[in-house]
Amino acid sequence: MAAPGPSAPVGPFPPGVETEEQRSDYDKRRRRVLWTLPYGLYLVGSTDHGVKRNLMTLNWATQVSFEPKLLGIGVQKDALTHELITEGRVFSLCTVDREDRAIVRKFTKPVDVDLEARTLNGFAFTDGPSGAPVLDASPAWVDCEVREAVDCGGHTFFIGEVVDAGFRPGTAEDTPVLRMEDTRMSYGG
C-alpha cells in the first residue's frame, strides 16, 4: 500500500538526465532511494476545539530541537488533519503497538467520530491536555502546540512544542512500537 505521489517526474534533474525516458528512470530511482530511509509510524490527533476530531496515519515525524522541545510533522495540504491543525493550532503524536499494526490502515481517511461513546472509527480515545485526541491503545503520546507552519509545497511542516507527554497506564515503557519496516506500506519517495 503506497499513498499516491506526483504523476509526472519532479525536477530538478542531475546533469545528463535529459530525455523523457532518462527523467522517468531517475524519478523512479530517486523514489526507491527515498523509500529506504527508515521511519516510525504514528497516528496524529487533531481538533478544531469544537466537535471535530481526527486521527491520521503519518510517518513524517521527527523531534527538531532539545530546547525548546520541538517536534515536526509533514502533513498533506488536502488532508482533514491539515485543516484541523491549521484551525486548532494543536496536534498529538501517538505511537502504535507493534502488535496493533492493523490500526494504521484504519486511519488513512477522515474518521467517524462518536463523541458520546468517545470513539474514533470505533477505537477509544481521550482528549489530550491541548484538546487533540489521543488513541487509548497507544503505548505513548506527545501533545503539541503549533509554533510554526512551514510551507513545503504539497505538504506543510508543522512544528509543535511538546506541552505534555505520557505512557498508556499499565504499559511497559519499552513496548515495541510500530515502524514503517514492520509493514508493507510506503509513503513519499
Ligand X SMILES: Cc1cc2nc3c(=O)[nH]c(=O)nc-3n(C[C@H](O)[C@H](O)[C@H](O)COP(=O)(O)O)c2cc1C
Residues making contact with ligand X (CB under 6 A): 1, 3, 54, 56-60, 74-76, 79-81, 108-110, 155, 185, 187
CB of 28 to ligand X, least distance (A): 19
Instruction: Give the nearest distance from C-beta 13 to ligand X in angstroms.
Output: 25
Beta-bridge partners for 56? 44
Minimum distance from CB of 75 to ligand X (Å)? Answer: 4
Tell me whether residue 1 or residue 115 sits nearer to ligand X (CB atom).
1
* Residue 186 beta carbon to ligand X: minimum distance, rounded to whole angstroms: 7
Closest CB to ligand X among 74 and 133? 74
Closer CB to ligand X, residue 33 or residue 171? 33
Q: Which residue has the cell 469544537?
A: 50
CB of 69 to ligand X, least distance (A): 20
Of 13 and 157, nearer to ligand X (C-beta) is 157
Q: Are 76 and 152 in contact (CB under 8 A)?
A: no
Among residues 57, 53, 51, 44, the alpha carbon closest in space to that of 141 is found at 44
CB of 21 to ligand X, least distance (A): 30
Q: What is the 3-state secondary structure (H, E, C) of the chain?
A: CECCCCCCCCCCCCCCCCCHHHHHHHHHHHHHHHHCCCCECEEEEEECCCCCEEEEEECCEEEEECCCCEEEEEEECCCHHHHHHHHHCEEEEEECEHHHHHHHHHHCCCCCEECCCCEECCEEEEECCCCCEEECCCCEEEEEEEEEEEECCCEEEEEEEEEEEEECCCCCCCCCECEHHHCCCECCC
By beta-carbon proximity to ligand X, the closer residue of 130 and 156 is 156
| CB nearer ligand X, residue 22 or residue 86 | 86
